Amino acid sequence: MTPVIELQDLRVKLGRREILEGISCRLGAAGAGKTIGLLGPNGAGKSTLILTLLGFHKASGGKARILGFDCHKQSREVKARVGFMPENDAFIAGMTAVRFLRVMGELSGLPSRVALEKAHEVLFHVGLGEARYRAIGTYSLGMKQMAKLAQAIIHGPELVILDEPTNGLDPSARARMLQLVREMKEEHGMSVVLCSHLLRDVEAVCDEVIILKGGRLVHQANLEEERRANRRFVELEVSGDDRGFGAALRGHGAEGVSEGGGRWRIVLPPGVEIDVVWQLVARESLEVRRLTHRRDSLEEIFLKAVGHIERTPHENALPAEQVTNDGRL
């Protein structure tokens, strides 16, 4: 089956600097309606990758294909099948939303009358039906985000690329945006690439995720499989001599790393229960000051992939840094 996105040793230079350094992966399957998360710290190459997929940057080496079409040599075919919601606003402020959508529909190849019909339909779909005759310049931030989404899907693309779609939204608008992303996948069969700094948003709607760092692909994960793995993460703080605790954990198939001061982060594999930690603590004559545990999450996957984990010679590393409460990096 044709992948939605296929990268083969993709390299992109801007000036003398190589921004993307040999990325290879196959993501999604045409017609399967998958949502792919694109993650990475600032400067990782996410924007460059998006612009390369859209045909704005030429690869200096390797290949980039969308739905089987070469992103540079067959850019017309690619653009006809892709919708793009940019991070930054790109409106003509004095235009009404319905006129703006009509223009964008025509630029996407729709006949004028069809573009107008679709403009009304899509604006109602995203919740802007009552405001469709207002100038976009008068819109709130949340309304502008919805208008950007509307222009990305007006022509019924097979793939939609969303760059920070929930940026700046209040909780209700953010929930609405994520619901629309789910509907694009589940009800309309669209594939979606979601680029976001909000890990919880990616975890909530994505089936796959790729993580970039320094222009390289450092991790690719099937989130459905990660969820089925059902690993549990334990944060433990003890007092006493814990020098033998790491080896004791490894003896039960668990992974742990000491953060110093009696603080530990532990991964329990499937089949190993939290009771094992209590037993090992008692065996090592340690006193528990704090213990919390949770299921596997995208935070751990991301932090490990981008290298925010200090490794010791004898222990597999676990995340040693935190993110803010809403999951923003």
∠ CA(56), CA(62), CA(63), 5° rounding?
A: 60
Asked if 115 and 240 sit in the same domain, the reply is: no
| Residue 21: both structure tokens together | 């350094």
Cβ atoms of residues 322 and 259 within 8 Å: no
| Residue 71: both structure tokens together | 């992103």
DSSP state of 139: -
Residue 259 located in a structural domain: yes
Tell me what the mean pLDDT of segment 281-291 comes to: 93
Residue 148 located in a structural domain: yes
Domain termination site, one of 188, 204, 223: 223
Residue 312 located in a structural domain: no
Report percent pLDDT > 90 for the chain. 65
- The count of structural domains within the chain is 2
Cβ atoms of residues 263 and 242 within 8 Å: no
∠ CA(208), CA(30), CA(26), 5° rounding?
A: 50
SS3 content of the chain, % helix, strand, coil (to 5): 35, 30, 35
On the CB side of 175, CA atoms within 13 Å amount to 2
DSSP state of 129: G
Nearest residue to 234 via CA among 302, 284, 280, 285: 280
Asked if 184 and 255 sit in the same domain, the reply is: no
Report percent pLDDT > 70 for the chain. 90
Asked if 193 and 140 sit in the same domain, the reply is: yes
Asked if 239 and 144 sit in the same domain, the reply is: no
Q: Is the pLDDT of residue 318 over 80?
A: no
Tell me what the mean pLDDT of segment 189-214 comes to: 93
Distance CA 310, CA 308 (A): 7
Asked if 39 and 124 sit in the same domain, the reply is: yes
Asked if 248 and 117 sit in the same domain, the reply is: no
User: Which residue's structure tokens are 């600097």?
Assistant: 17
118-145 residue pLDDT tens: 999 999 999 999 999 999 999 999 999 9
Q: Is the pLDDT of residue 320 over 50?
A: no
How many Cβ atoms are within 10 Å of 82's Cβ, its own excluded? 25
User: Which residue's structure tokens are 């399957």?
Assistant: 29
Q: What is the pLDDT of residue 323?
A: 34
Cβ atoms of residues 252 and 279 within 8 Å: no
Q: 321 falls in which pLDDT band (50, 70, 90)?
A: very low
Asked if 24 and 138 sit in the same domain, the reply is: yes
Average pLDDT for the chain:
87
Q: CB burial class (10 A; 0-12, 13-18, 19+) of residue 16?
A: exposed
Q: Which residue has the higher pLDDT, 143 or 312?
A: 143
Nearest residue to 110 via CA among 64, 74, 156: 156
How many helices (H) and strands (E) would you count in the chain?
11, 14
Distance CA 240, CA 251 (A): 20
48-82 residue pLDDT tens: 999 999 999 999 999 999 999 999 899 999 989 99
Domain of 119: which CATH number? 3.40.50.300
Nearest residue to 265 via CA among 244, 245, 279, 285: 245
Asked if 152 and 276 sit in the same domain, the reply is: no
Cβ atoms of residues 46 and 212 within 8 Å: yes
Residue 320 located in a structural domain: no
User: Which residue's structure tokens are 């935190």?
Assistant: 322
Q: 314 falls in which pLDDT band (50, 70, 90)?
A: very low
Q: 149 falls in which pLDDT band (50, 70, 90)?
A: very high
22-50 residue pLDDT tens: 999 999 887 788 999 999 998 999 999 99
Asked if 156 and 214 sit in the same domain, the reply is: yes
Tell me what the mean pLDDT of segment 279-293 comes to: 91
Q: Left if phi > 0, otherwise alpha if psi is -120 to 50, otherwise beta: which for 15?
A: left
Which domain covers residue 240, as residue numbers? 231-305
| Residue 58: both structure tokens together | 């030429």
Asked if 172 and 209 sit in the same domain, the reply is: yes
β-pairing, 61-66 vs 69-70, is antiparallel
Tell me what the mean pLDDT of segment 236-265 comes to: 91
State how far the alpha carbon of 158 is from the alpha carbons of 13, 27, 30, 35, 74, in Å: 28, 14, 8, 12, 16
Residue 82 located in a structural domain: yes
Q: What is the pLDDT of residue 118?
A: 97
Q: What is the pLDDT of residue 324?
A: 34
